[in-house]
Amino acid sequence: MHLTRLRLAGFKSFVEPTELRIEPGLTGVVGPNGCGKSNLVEALRWVMGESAARQMRATELDDVIFAGTAARPARNFAEVALALDNPDGLAPAPYRDQAQIEVVRRLPRGGSSAYRINGRGARARDVKQLLADAATGARSTAIVAQGQIGAFVAAKPTERRGVLEEAAGVAGLYSRRQEAESRLRAADANLER
């Protein structure tokens, strides 16, 4: 799977609907200070399930919704859509046979996030699982934000290992293993009763 398009509306500085096409290969976002480069990266992380406001330079999640200026009114929601190509059918089982997958996250002001995968309601957990199998996601090593390279160099060996495991695509396997072990423990506890 690979990213093909990012569509934003009302997300931080992207007031009007904006679409960014992502071509195959390495994609870099460059431009002068204040043009929205970091907001693009944050939008990508947000639609992939990021739930920590501080990861998006915000104090609360509502801060990702365009707050308004003297010339433009505030928006009532933020929405980001991510399109993925799945030509080899490498997506998890429910989406394996679909050539394109679209993940949408919408946050109304004062409300809670709603996710959709290919038009159907989904949980943040479903989005994270879908992307974990593709070795990507909100905290993916494929998305390098400001200061991350220095942090990687200064990281402890166990932290570096986690980054390398995610880059290798085994993060999704660990997640499912932990979930299966948790269910097994619960089943064992039920049997002992």
What range does the domain containing 28 cover? 2-146
126-181 per-position pLDDT tens digit: 998 888 755 454 455 456 566 667 777 888 998 888 877 776 767 667 777 888 99
In a domain, 177, yes or no: no
In a domain, 92, yes or no: yes
Q: What is the pLDDT, as a whole number, of residue 133?
A: 59
**CATH number of the domain where residue 67 is located:** 3.40.50.300
Question: Angle, nearest 10°, between helix axes 124-132 and 171-192?
Answer: 130
98-106: which pairs have CB atoms within 8 A and are 24 or more residues apart? Answer: 100/4, 101/1, 101/130, 103/47, 103/48, 103/127, 103/130, 103/131, 104/47, 104/79, 104/80, 105/46, 105/47, 105/49, 105/79, 105/80, 106/77, 106/78, 106/79
In a domain, 166, yes or no: no
Query: Taking the model in full, what pTM does it have?
Result: 0.72
Phi, psi of 4 (to 5 degrees): -120, -25
In a domain, 159, yes or no: no
Average pLDDT of the chain is 86
In a domain, 191, yes or no: no
In a domain, 163, yes or no: no
- Asked if residue 34 has pLDDT above 70, the reply is yes
Strand partners, 117: 103, 120
What would the mean pLDDT of 40-49 be, rounded to a whole number? 91
CA distance 78 to 72: 15
Q: How many domains does the chain have?
A: 1
In a domain, 85, yes or no: yes
In a domain, 99, yes or no: yes
The count of residues in the chain is 193
Strand partners, 19: 7
62-84 per-position pLDDT tens digit: 999 999 999 999 999 999 999 99
